[in-house]
Structure 1
């Protein structure tokens, strides 16, 4: 049973597929501003103590009853996807990528966020899963499309869950973000609400949904997207809100 402080994915996943996003409190040993259950920032110059992050990750594995050590990534807001077929080796270097795919039961996928979208995918037959990190740069460059392309399951047979991220009532962006989406897809303008000259509130979950539907997912097969990291400081880390911030983790696996 998962006893880690977490939000369970609320979606129509097949039996044996598990996914959740951790909370910032309820476990962990990190000190402010990374208090307490920080699972990332092992490599950032202004980040948490790497030894503490390692202990937090070990506590996560124990509390959640994970079947194996999670596969972690060095995320760079890109579009690279890594397929993993065996459980992670904690001593091995973490690959530079922003998404993971597996068809192997017991292999655990992990994505770190603090406002960016964590998106989990599952084949409707329960034989494949994926997890992607998609902030606005990765989302606009095709991170979700790249993840679906790396799956062996056709997009029409995939469901998705969008975890906690910067919400449309709090995430203000400038012209660079607006242009990154609207120059590709004029209809994406509907996901931006103007605030002041040259600025908009961006609805990242809606932008993600639009791109997933374009790839073949049914609208009813896309879940989540209703939890805002910026608005809930007691539950989630937020880089936009706090500047220096820890990271929550979204994990997914298929029961062995």
Structure 2
């Protein structure tokens, strides 16, 4: 007698497994890897003689000519530099040599290599054409001296209030540099600078309509043609100013030590 066969139950099917999501690891390009590897060891090279002169003279030119634009100030400083004698330039050349020597003593293995366009872009530097477009939106870009200067078509009309805690801006929209040492004495001026400050109003009066550049060229040309006897008046002023600076610096440094 055959036993009644029980109906076979279908084998339970395994529920479908959810598809595993592949984890995409962002790839790092060789250029980005080079940028990342250089961020921690990026060193700022010491300033050359002209940059030292520019940093020293810029606040003075702005103080005596508060209506000048950034471009006009830079042009004036360049003209003043070209009008200096070799002896006058030697002061700044010596400072540059000392900075370079100190830099290499602190970083004996430093080798300068030019950065690629990608590295410059990653560091926030832009080409001039891109800076113009960038300035139309932000109006603020980093300059070589660490400050921020507006660029673009609206140069000089930037009236937005600065963010809280930031230094005040002058009417032309430039960010004023913080004065870290308000009691520090002003650096001494050269004989040529004393001459230029005295002669600029007269030259401007004799050449109405001339811009800063041509006036500076005229002053520099006149200075070059002066004899040592004719220069003596302004060289004496420079010598006195240098002595003044030495006295004030001694008092200033002593005050800094007393505060410590």
Between Structure 1 and Structure 2, the one with more helix by share is 2
Same-fold status (TM-score > 0.5): no
Shorter-normalised TM-score: what interval?
under 0.3
Between Structure 1 and Structure 2, the one with more strand by share is 1
Larger radius of gyration: 2
TM, length-normalised to structure 2: 0.23
